[in-house]
């Protein structure tokens, strides 16, 4: 394993891990998350997480992009993996920056490709459609899920900075 030192590479503005032998710069870039609000007849698809973090809490089908994957493809893949649902995307709801964990989260509006057909995937305890007034708000896994659902519900689209909101998770 090479020896890395903290330094500001020439022409850069941030301190980075740089290999002391060859000068390779190990960039620490944010992770990108893609997901969807899958709606049918005014209800939204939520998945109860079977894995950490926040196992047992409800979330939208979403997850990290794979290398070379487009966000739209990632959102469709995550819906299939977590809820065994084939979906069609209808547009971007919002982009959320989660600075403290170095994530950028992108959520899309979506619908089922046909009649609602879903079930729990391997990372999900259960999948269910909820009417707005049925959503278990105290059991929502992540603040960005709350903001995304609120944005979907109002019909607004846009970008949000997660650090401007104060939501108890």
Mean pLDDT of 134-158: 92
User: 158-161 and 58-59 as β-strands: parallel, antiparallel, unpaired?
Assistant: unpaired
Chain segment 76-98, per-residue pLDDT in tens: 999 999 999 999 999 999 999 99
Q: How large is the average pLDDT for residues 133-139?
A: 98
Predicted TM-score (pTM) of the model is 0.86
Q: Which residue has the higher pLDDT, 153 or 160?
A: 153
DSSP codes of every residue in 13-41: SS-EEEETTT--EE--PPEEEEEEEEEET
**CA gap 12, 26 in Å, rounded:** 13
Average of per-residue pLDDT values in the chain:
92
Q: How far apart are CA 33 and CA 104, in angstroms?
A: 6
Q: What is the pLDDT of residue 157?
A: 59
Helix, strand, coil share (%) of the chain residues, nearest 5: 20, 40, 40
Domains in the chain: boundaries: 31-164
What pLDDT was estimated at residue 155?
87
| Residue (of 72, 132, 79) closest to 108 by Cα position | 72
Q: For position 12, what pLDDT does the model report? A: 95
* Distance (Å, whole) CA 45 – CA 150: 14
Residue with tokens 């994530």: 103
Are 28 and 98 contacting, i.e. CB atoms less than 8 angstroms apart?
no
Kind of pairing between the strands at 62-64 and 87-98: unpaired
The 10 Å Cβ neighbour count of residue 140 is 20
pLDDT at 1 > cutoff 80: no
Q: Report the distance separating Cα 42 and Cα 17, nearest Å.
A: 49
CATH number of 31-164: 3.90.79.10
Interatomic CA distance for residues 45 and 61, integer angstroms: 8
* pLDDT above 60: residue 159: no
């Amino acid at each position: 394993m090479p020896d890395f030192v903290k330094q500001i590479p020439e022409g850069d503005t941030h301190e980075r891990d740089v290999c002391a032998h060859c000068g390779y710069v190990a960039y620490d870039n944010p992770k990108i998350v893609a997901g969807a609000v899958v709606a049918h007849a005014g209800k939204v698809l939520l998945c109860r997480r079977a894995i950490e973090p926040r196992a047992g809490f409800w979330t939208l089908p979403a997850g990290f992009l794979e290398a070379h994957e487009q966000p739209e493809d990632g959102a469709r893949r995550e819906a299939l993996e977590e809820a065994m649902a084939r979906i069609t995307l209808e547009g971007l709801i919002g982009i959320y920056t989660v600075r403290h964990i170095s994530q950028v989260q992108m959520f899309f509006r979506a619908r089922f490709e046909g009649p609602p057909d879903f079930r729990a995937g391997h990372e999900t305890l259960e999948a269910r459609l909820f009417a707005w007034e049925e959503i278990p708000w105290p059991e929502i896994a992540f603040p960005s899920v709350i903001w995304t659902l609120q944005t979907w519900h109002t019909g607004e689209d846009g970008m949000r900075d997660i650090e401007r909101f104060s939501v108890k998770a």
